[in-house]
């Protein structure tokens, strides 16, 4: 079966966007071309461009990101893959949530390896749609959603106990995957508390020998005399 002229043009324009996702002109041309044909993918491209123009702290970022995600779920997955940038597969992101340090490692097989105060786990999956990402951990015990703005992902989350929190991470150069140390159960993650500090090492005993004469203490320039 021969492809129509529109199909060929569609592939050409999509390829231009995929090769250079920062080319605003190419995205506008593609969106206009789709809109002329009543294609809902035009709305997706325009909304995604609007999101890219927002600051990571914008109060409507996550709300509009969720709208983009829901629209993207109705569109062909192979097309979404073409216009999704940056690609999250095989990247690591380091930051914090309301409970402490947080690291996301997006594995190429669709699983997510993550570290939080209670440990390192690999019991969740991730899905990227454009510049948005959704993750579920421990069979949807907790669900996360975020929007990628440059090299930062800002998001929110909630669990089955109706606990909600915020999180933000930044792209790092480290993409190594840690091995999970323990199994996760709903009971184990019901209360996410920061890890206890390691005990301090006992200072070594001073060696015997002549005691050095202590030098007189100097006052700090900022101390009152």
Percentage of the chain modeled with pLDDT above 70:
76
How much is the pLDDT for 200? 41
Cβ 54 vs Cβ 61: under 8 Å: yes
Q: Give 149's pLDDT tier (boundaries 50, 70, 90).
A: very high
Q: Give CA–CA dist 81/21, Å, rounded.
A: 12
How much is the pLDDT for 169? 98
Helix (H, G, I), strand (E, B) or coil at 25: helix
Q: Is the pTM of this model over 0.85?
A: no
Q: What is the pLDDT of residues 120-138, one digit of tens each?
A: 999 999 999 999 999 999 9
Nearest by Cα to 45 from 15, 21, 19, 62:
21
**CA quadruple 21, 22, 28, 31: dihedral, nearest 10:** 20
Q: Give CA–CA dist 54/71, Å, rounded.
A: 19
Report all structural domains of the chain as residue ranges with CATH numbers, in order of start. 5-83 (no CATH), 91-171 (2.40.128.20)
């Amino acid at each position: 079966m021969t492809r129509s002229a529109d199909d060929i043009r569609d592939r050409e324009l999509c390829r231009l966007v995929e090769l250079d996702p920062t080319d605003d002109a190419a995205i506008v041309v593609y969106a206009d071309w789709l809109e002329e044909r009543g294609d809902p993918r035009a709305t997706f491209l325009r909304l995604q461009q609007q999101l890219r123009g927002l600051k990571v702290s914008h109060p409507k970022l996550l709300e509009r990101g969720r709208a983009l995600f829901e629209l993207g779920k109705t569109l062909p997955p192979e097309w979404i893959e073409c216009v999704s940038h940056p690609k999250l597969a095989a990247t690591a992101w380091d930051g914090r949530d309301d409970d402490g340090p947080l690291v996301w490692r997006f594995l190429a097989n669709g699983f997510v390896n993550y570290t939080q105060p209670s440990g390192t786990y690999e019991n969740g999956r991730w899905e990227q749609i454009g510049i948005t990402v959704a993750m579920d951990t421990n069979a949807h015990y907790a669900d996360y959603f975020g929007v990628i703005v440059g090299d930062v992902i800002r998001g929110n989350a909630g669990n089955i106990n109706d606990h909600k929190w915020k999180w933000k991470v930044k792209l790092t150069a480290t993409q190594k995957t840690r091995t999970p140390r323990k199994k996760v159960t709903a009971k184990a993650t019901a209360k996410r508390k920061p890890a206890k500090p390691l005990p301090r090492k006992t200072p070594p005993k001073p060696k015997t020998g002549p005691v050095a004469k202590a030098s007189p203490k100097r006052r700090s320039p900022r101390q009152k005399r």
